[in-house]
Amino acid sequence: MAFATRADLLARCNAQRLKLLAVPADRAMLDSDTLRRLIEGGDASALDAEDQQTAALALDAIDKALDDANALLLSYGIPATVESTLLARLSSTVAIYYLQGAERMTEEVQRAYDGVIKMLTAFGRGELDLLPPDAALPAAPDDPVVIESAPPRYRGGVSCP
């Protein structure tokens, strides 16, 4: 199970930016609306053969970046079965970093990636919990806590001269 999907990536980025990052430089650029529709699961059969190939390459690049981001989160010990919007955001941030590539890296993307790595490192050390509360755990009892103690050793009322 992936921590983030194509739709999660699109929600945290935009089709224009994904188009610039995912479409190979030697291919004709797709329309942003076309890429958005394909990311959302639309059909590519209306496209000509060259645009279909370009779309397939772009979606493949997006899927590889998401798979690599998923593998990174797993490597820090996050269970594959956990789902949360925080993990989807972290995975999407890493996927954008991978799509950006070294030759087009921006300070903003580098800082966001470094922040994710710091959070994952803290999680790996046990300093930060990135997992949602477990719904399977039993709820705390409604009984109030009663603390009892031995009677006091010295009673009030005795004064010292």
Domain boundaries, the chain: 6-125
Residue 32's contacts (CB-CB under 8 Å, 6 or more residues apart) are 14, 15, 16, 19
Asked if pLDDT for residue 160 goes beyond 90, the answer is no
Q: What is the Cα–Cα distance from 148 to 88, expressed in whole angstroms? A: 47
pLDDT digits (tens, 9 = 90+) for 86-133: 999 999 999 999 999 867 888 999 999 999 999 999 999 999 889 887
Which tokens sit at 81? 């079965």
Q: What is the pTM of this model?
A: 0.78
How far is the C-alpha of 93 from the C-alpha of 12, rounded, in Å?
8
Distances (CA, A) of 57 to 13, 15, 16, 17, 45: 19, 15, 16, 16, 15
